Structure 1
Amino acid sequence: MIGASAAVTAIIVAAATLLPDYTFMLILLGPVKIKWIAAVVVLLSIAGISGSNIGGNLAHLAGALLGFVFIKQLKAGRDLGRPVQAVGSWFSNLFNRRPAMRASSTRRPEPVVTAATGAGPARKPVNQQLQDEIDLILDKISRSGYESLSKEEKQKLFKASQQ
């Protein structure tokens, strides 16, 4: 809990920087724009610097500065929170070791048959027919999930995975 008020000050100033005209309905005061709430919070921290909690008020001002800079950088296209998110994701992945599942297709484009070559429609090789069936099953999984497959489709998929 110690130091949380500096983080709250950062959030108030960041919100006021992002949406300065956003209005809150405060009890006894009525509608107040967030920019005025942020200004009062910052002014109270400045006024408290000469008091007994100098470190706390300096922390509030540092939080206010951080909130302001964060939003200005975000508007400029630089997300200062990205490294923090990357560290969080790394720790999350460290404890949740699930292999990333990927479905890939080895389908190759069929050769183009023109009337000039004189070749008629050729039958697909057995391997290509099997691959087409597997591709259709994988498409069904991506649309409806594994549980939507029939028993035969599951068996075909299993047999193809053993090859």
Structure 2
Amino acid sequence: MADALRKRKLRASLKDVKIREPADVDRRLTNSADIYAFLSCYFPDVFWGHWTDQRREMVAAILNAARYGGDQAIAAPRGEGKTSIVQCVTIYCVMHGILSFPLIAAATGPNAEQILANIKYQLERNQALADDYPEICDPILALDGTAQRGPSANFRSRYS
């Protein structure tokens, strides 16, 4: 009887997911207020150098559509970062409660799957995001790629 109780408590404790405090609250607040700072800070390998007017217009159009809806298409030459901008602005919108269930549309199913994989990769592997947004990234990391673990997990945080 005592052994069964001990094992039950052990299994329950393994389901507990502790959510850390943000590592750098000032960085998070600063970058939350400015989407371009957010993109440059958390995705430095993607967004380095000067923000061109065309890229700023793309970011603003995507953010506007996320907040207010709309049906605007964005056209730009190949290599201008359209897909990267969409992926990273989507992450910004999810992190800040602008979008709960973003829709991924692409020319083909495999392209859409790749966009989703890129977003998931950032949420699972981007250490700066995980450090500053632990209430979002820690539960994702705790699932370890297995969505079935979600319903039985217990999340505990003083921050969120």
Same structural fold, with TM-score higher than 0.5 when normalized by the shorter chain: no
Larger-gyration structure (1/2): 1
- TM-score tier (shorter): under 0.3
Normalised by the length of structure 2, the TM-score is: 0.24
